[in-house]
Structure 1
Amino acid sequence: MQIRFDDRVALVTGAAQGIGRAIATALVEAGATVHLADIDVEGVAATAAAIGAVPHAVDLGSAEAAAKLVADIVAQSGRLELLVHAAGGVRGQVGRPIEAISEADWRVIFAANVDSAFFLAQAAAPAMKASGHGRIVTISSGAGLRPSLTGIQAYSSAKHALVGLTKQLAWEFGPHGITVNSVAPGFVRSNPATERQWESYGPEGQKRLIEGIHTRRLGTPADIAAASLFFLSEQAGWITGQVLSVDGGRS
């Protein structure tokens, strides 16, 4: 099965590095016109230059920012048909007891992982509905399907909410030719935050983690990109509201 996106316009958020960058690279290689969005100004510019994409430096925590981003893309490329929301993350909040989590800590995680996904879908809906075609993929997490690590209260809650949003959008957008699905990665060493998390486990903790994975290896950004491209493809046109765990069998 060959997956191509010639003449399609795509947006990938969280694309300065890691999983987002891998998805954007795969889309470019498959023929899409790709726009990248990230809060990291220098990182998103460097990624865009390296892969041949269009950079947008933006914080997507507000409806206004999301609406402007989509409007800019439509103005430049004429349409928007593919959306992958890979932005988010733990924002350094790992391993802390619930008593140490401030209201600001809680809200910043939801803004990055859930609010931005809602605002982007809201902004992209008119263009996708008008064309009668759309694919939206959210990058959730195994932590959004079950309890996992101690000390990621806000992150786990936000990813559970993102899964719920994905399923609700699938129901609402389905009649308009728009599918909405989610990829839930297992542990992937994809950026400095996950590298620090990996190192914090120590040799014994790392060994236990890998032994709990059927395939006995960690995932890579390319593993997540491959699953995302399938959901974005024409071949997945009758698949919506689904969450695909890409975790080597750990789940």
Structure 2
Amino acid sequence: MNITFEEQTVIVTGAGHGFGRTIALAFAADGAQVYACDVQDVALQETAALAEAAGTPLRVRRMDVTDPAAVQTLVDEAARATGRVDVLVNNAGGVLGQVGRPIEEITPADWRAIFAVNVDGAFLCAQAAAPHMKRQRRGRIINISSGAGLGISLTGIQAYASAKAAQIGLTRQLAHELGEWGITVNNVAPGFVRSNPTTERQWESYGEEGQRRLVNNIALKRLGSAQDIAHAVLFFASEQAGWITGQVLSVDGGK
């Protein structure tokens, strides 16, 4: 299967590390004009340096996905500079440094913060990109959810499991709303992958026995990589996935 993104414009959020960085670099390697966005300036520069070293440079922009004006500005900039917006990958999210606690200890601010970055961010980015994709009568929106959105969160964080489930609902709804313009909307739900400082801390917290148990519960008996997630995203963004929409693909080694 020959997948290429020559002359396509791709926006990837949360591209400072982990899945987002790997996804952005993969699109750039396949010829796309990539806008890699994150709130972490230093991490973004590291992403840019890796792309430059590989001979596949990309554009990096600081952007907070919970800021509607910032999102609109970035999407419009990409459309003006390249003439189009072909692919949006809503990867920004996470637990924002929170840890699992009893429900009675969760403040409204804690709850809302996780929803803001995981759900509101995906909504705002899709809202800004949709008019450009409608004009083209073609587009791909890929949301990065989590196995937590299909079951329970290994972190025990109530807001995270709920937000990722909500993002899956948004995926399905937008697929039906935008389909008549040739826009597909799909979701990749990763299993546990050691891809960033947060997941590294989570892995260490399990201890040797917990790590062994986690791996033994995976059908393939091994952890995946950020590259495994990127492969799924590139497939959904490709021409080969043109008649696939509203779907959730679990990339988790088998559960």
* TM-score higher than 0.5: yes
TM-score range, shorter chain: over 0.9
Measure, in 1, the Cα distance between the counterparts of 2:238 and 2:146: 21
Q: Which amino acid aligns with 1:199?
A: E
SS in 1 for 2:7: coil
**Contact 1:35 1:55 (8 Å CA) reproduced:** yes
Partner residue of 1:93? 98
Partner residue of 2:3? 3
Q: Which amino acid aligns with 1:190?
A: S
Measure, in 2, the Cα distance between the counterparts of 1:236 and 1:110: 29
Partner residue of 2:49? 49
1:188-243 CA distance string (max 9 Å, x none): 10100000000000000000000000111111000000000000000000000000
Cα gap change, 1:150 to 1:221, in 2 (>3 Å): closer
User: Which of 207, 229, 247 is matched with 1:202 structurally?
Assistant: 207
SS in 1 for 2:121: helix
- 1:249 paired to 2:254: yes
Q: Which moved more, 1:48-57 or 1:134-143?
A: 48-57
Q: Which amino acid aligns with 2:25?
A: T
Q: Which moved more, 1:182-191 or 1:84-93?
A: 84-93
- 1:146 paired to 2:151: yes
- 1:193 paired to 2:198: yes
Partner residue of 1:37? 37
Percent identity over the alignment is 59
Measure, in 2, the Cα distance between the counterparts of 1:92 and 1:50: 26
Partner residue of 1:61? 66
Please report the RMSD computed on the Cα atoms of aligned residues, expressed in angstroms. 0.9
Cα gap change, 1:126 to 1:150, in 2 (>3 Å): closer
Measure, in 2, the Cα distance between the counterparts of 1:122 and 1:116: 10
- Count, aligned residues: 250
**Contact 1:62 1:115 (8 Å CA) reproduced:** no
Q: Which runs of 5 or more residues in structure 1 are unaligned?
A: none
SS in 1 for 2:188: strand
Q: Which amino acid aligns with 2:117?
A: A
Partner residue of 1:25? 25
Partner residue of 1:130? 135
**Contact 2:95 2:114 (8 Å CA) reproduced:** yes
Q: Which runs of 5 or more residues in structure 2 are unaligned?
A: 52-56
Please list, as runs of the form range in 1=range in 2, the aligned pairs for 1:142-181 lying within 5 A after superposition: 142-149=147-154, 151-181=156-186
- Following TM superposition, where does structure 1 have runs of at least 4 consecutive aligned residues deviating by more than 4 angstroms? none
User: Which of 165, 168, 189 is matched with 1:184 structurally?
Assistant: 189
Measure, in 2, the Cα distance between the counterparts of 1:117 and 1:149: 22
Measure, in 1, the Cα distance between the counterparts of 2:106 and 2:47: 33
Q: Which amino acid aligns with 2:175?
A: A
Measure, in 2, the Cα distance between the counterparts of 1:78 and 1:42: 29
**Contact 2:153 2:160 (8 Å CA) reproduced:** no
SS in 2 for 1:7: coil
Q: Which amino acid aligns with 2:14?
A: G
1:48-102 CA distance string (max 9 Å, x none): 2321110110111022221111111112222111111111001122221112211
